[in-house]
Amino acid sequence: MSSSRKQVAVSSEKLEHPFKPIVFRDTEILILGSFPSIQSFEQHFYYGHPRNQFWKIMEVLTGYPTHNRDQKIWLLKEAKVGLWDMIASCQRDNSLDSSLKEEKPNDIEALLKKYPKIKKVCFTGKKAEALFKQYFSHLSVETCYLPSPSPAHAAMNFEEKIVAYRDTLGCEKGV
């Protein structure tokens, strides 16, 4: 394990969220995770774990390639989907949501005000959903739960996740 990875993995200090939200003027759906995994910190981008299925699911749904960061951002823009995480800072021992402690939320309310075309907020984990309900239940926006794309979420297979994402996001090839 590299020293930087070890520092991120077992930090007793507050970790700050390393990425800005990816949102465009015409974004209609905001997908919120909890907090970037250790691998996402190392890759400097959302859903960076090589076994995480998020980008594979989005590629199947839209037909757009996701081989690099630029293609992923382009896919999100074309699909009118934004990405961010619920947690602005926290402590953690590993990449599991269950290890997150002392969470401070991102200002989701301000983001929704800045991007008024966002009509739906979806969560890729129970932790993100619970934090949204805790801090932002007063907001008048449609919410929904997406199955976690994490390899740790084995309750659904890849094909079942694709169906759930398609039904929830309404993405079709060629958006």
Give the whole-angstrom CA distance, residue 168 versus residue 46.
Answer: 20
Quote the mean pLDDT of the chain. Answer: 84
- Write down all domains in the chain, each with its CATH number in brackets: 3-169 (3.40.470.10)
Confidence band, pLDDT 50/70/90 cuts, at residue 2: very low
**Could you tell me the two tokens for 38?**
């250790």
The DSSP line for 18-76 is -S--B--TT--EEEEESS--HHHHHHTSTT-STT--HHHHHHHHH----SSHHHHHHHH
Q: pLDDT by residue (tens digit) across 124-163?
A: 988 899 999 999 999 999 999 999 898 776 788 999 999 9
- Rounded to whole angstroms, the Cα distance separating 46 from 127 reads 17
36 CB-contact burial (10 Å; exposed 0-12 / middle 13-18 / buried 19+): buried
User: pTM above the 0.75 mark?
Assistant: yes
Return d(Cα 75, Cα 64) in angstroms, integer: 6
Active site residue 52: yes
Please work out, in degrees rounded to the nearest 5, the angle formed at the alpha carbon of residue 171 by the alpha carbons of 150 and 66: 55
Could you tell me the strand order of the sheet in which 120-123 lies? 81-85, 29-33, 120-123, 142-145
Q: Is pLDDT larger for residue 175 or for residue 77?
A: 77
Given this model, what pLDDT does residue 9 score? 44
pLDDT given at position 102: 66
Using alpha carbons only, how large is the chain's radius of gyration in Å? 15
13-72 confidence digits (pLDDT tens): 677 777 899 999 999 999 998 877 777 768 889 888 888 999 999 999 999 999 999 999
Catalytic residue among 52, 68, 94, 157: 52
- pLDDT tens for each residue of 87-129: 887 567 655 555 556 678 899 999 999 999 999 999 998 889 9
